[in-house]
Amino acid sequence: MPARLDTRPSSESAVQSLRRRRFILLLTALAICLTVNSQAPPAPKFVVVLDAAHGGDDLGARLGNQSEKDYTLALSVKLRSLLMARGISVVTTRESGADVDANRRAEIANRANAAACMNLHAAFVSSKSGPAVHLFISTLPATANARFVPWKTAQSAWITRSNELAGVLNAALTHAGITVTLGQTALPAIDSMACPAVAIEVAPQRQTVAQDAAGADDAGFEAQVADALVAALVEWRAEGGQSGESRP
Amino acid sequence: MIPRHQTVLFVILLLASVIMGAVLWNQLRRAHERLLRGQDAAPTQAPLVAPAEQATLMVANDADNSVQARILTLPLPQNPEARARAVLGKLLDLYAAPDATHPVPGGAGSVAQVFLVPIADDTGKASPTAPQLAVVNLTSAFATGHPSGLQAETLTVLSICATLNANLPNVTQVRFLVDGQARATLAGHADLTRTYPAGQTAPNEGAHP
């Protein structure tokens, strides 16, 4: 009997201790939840897609003894370095001379949820024109954003943003003293991209035959264009071109 | 001793041979004279196959990425398909000229045919005034020789479409073939698998210094 009386108070204290522990645990969980909710949502990443046109057997235009395929790849690598140095994430569609078809390029761009997609081209200008950069957006008509868009016309929901991106690129290139032309073109590679997309054709001056034989080494112009494009993308980011905010 | 009848036969055959030779020589001389007369009668100027009319060519300019209208007086056939081919031929002649604003080799011979196909309405019927689809069949030599580049190819396609629409207002859509076959791109860039709206002259915003 005395032993029974001894055990009763210890059982009550154990229950109370358990309740206390549960209460503390509940408070801790609540505090964690509140802490997590009070934190600001992570800022959407600013991602740029660099799409070096052509590849594989598709050499593109000839620039002296260099093909457009090699020129655009080199430009893509250069731009990637410059952008990453400024803290901008870059996704490239092509890292080698291999061919990547238009659908695969668009797929890579769409998965990246990019703030800007740049389809890179290069061609010599005619002898009468000076070096220039030609900016093109898609010819697709602008449409309202829909939950599901046809693959081949996905860009139509982004035309307005693409036009704005082309404007920012145009301003930066013009500011750098480069002649710029604006236009629209029918290009499957950008028509399927669900992001602000601009096709950029770098057009260095056609050189003399002797210079051609030595290679299309217009490094000064190319570097000038690359710097201007990077400046434009930094400006685009500052204007709120984050991936999450850039949805049409 | 030769028999008399054989001598007579020989003389007759000899005379016949001489007469036949003379006739042949005479006919040869007449044929030659006819040929010479024919050459003399050949026209020294090409006959006019069609009256001269004003045509609007939408001419591309690489310097400012524009397509501008240029009005020329050309002999234009009445047949719409021949007319379409004639205006496109003149447009490509301008591009093949040494001082072209949009240099593209090839010239008028680069357009093999132009077919005009009525676009059926919802009921499946096509009236004579219905919108038309122009199918432009280019030569492979033109496509192979075309300068590769986004701007160069886009301007060529747009100027062809706009020129067709300017001279044949019923033409609202344009498709391209190369040597009668579908082709992915003109010279690596401009998409030739799609149907283009004919009235589009998109890259006309001009160059910025």
The pLDDT-based confidence of A43 (bands split at 50, 70, 90) is low
- Across the interface, whether the CB atoms of B151 and A184 are under 8 A apart is answered no
Q: At a CB cut-off of 8 Å and minimum separation 6, what does A94 contact?
A: A51, A52, A55, A73, A76, A100, A105
pLDDT digits (tens, 9 = 90+) for A148-170: 888 889 999 999 999 999 999 99
Which residue of chain A has the CA closest to B209?
A179
Name every chain A residue with its beta carbon within 8 A of the beta carbon of B157.
186
> Is B1 contained in some domain?
no
Instruction: Please report, as a single letter, which amino acid is at residue A197.
Output: A
> Is B159 contained in some domain?
yes
Question: What is the DSSP secondary-structure string of B131-191?
Answer: -EEEEEEE-HHHHHHSPP-HHHHHHHHHHHHHHHHHH-TTEEEEEEEETTB--SBSSSSSB
Alpha helices in A144-218 (DSSP H): 159-175, 188-191, 209-214
> Does residue A89 carry a pLDDT above 90?
yes
pLDDT at B203: 47
The pLDDT-based confidence of A144 (bands split at 50, 70, 90) is confident
pLDDT at A175: 96
pLDDT at B38: 60
- Residue B200: how many other CB atoms lie within 10 Å: 18
pLDDT digits (tens, 9 = 90+) for B8-65: 999 999 999 999 999 999 999 998 887 776 655 555 555 556 788 999 999 999 888 8
A–B CB contacts, 8 A cutoff, strictly below: 97
> Is B185 contained in some domain?
yes
Closest CA to A63 of B51, B188, B43: B188
Contact A67, B155 (CB under 8 A): no
Query: Domain range holding B115?
Result: 52-197
What is the residue extent of each domain of chain A?
1-39, 47-238
- Residue B198: how many other CB atoms lie within 10 Å: 24
pLDDT at A41: 53
The pLDDT-based confidence of A211 (bands split at 50, 70, 90) is low
In the numeric block, which tokens belong to residue A10? Answer: 């210890």
Most B CBs within 10 Å: which of A62, A63, A125, A181, as the mutation test of the B interface?
A181
- Nearest chain A Cα distance for residue B48, angstroms: 37
Mean of the per-residue pLDDT values for chain B? 87
pLDDT at B209: 39
Contact B74, B49 (CB under 8 A): no
Most A CBs within 10 Å: which of B189, B191, B196, B205, as the mutation test of the A interface?
B189
pTM of the model: 0.75
- Nearest chain B Cα distance for residue A111, angstroms: 25
- Across the interface, whether the CB atoms of A187 and B191 are under 8 A apart is answered yes
Predicted ipTM of the assembly: 0.75
> Is B16 contained in some domain?
no
Closest CA to B89 of B115, B75, B110: B110
pLDDT digits (tens, 9 = 90+) for B82-127: 999 999 999 999 999 998 999 999 999 999 999 999 987 766 666 6
pLDDT at A208: 43
- Across the interface, whether the CB atoms of B207 and A170 are under 8 A apart is answered no
> Does residue A125 carry a pLDDT above 90?
no
Most A CBs within 10 Å: which of B148, B150, B193, as the mutation test of the A interface?
B150
pLDDT digits (tens, 9 = 90+) for A52-84: 999 999 999 988 888 999 999 999 999 999 999
* Residue B65 touches partner A, C-beta closer than 8 Å: yes
Domain at A47-238, CATH class: alpha beta
Number of domains in chain B: 1
Chain A residues with CB within 8 Å of chain B CB: 54, 58-62, 68, 121, 123-126, 128-129, 132, 134, 136, 139, 170, 174, 179-188, 199, 201, 203
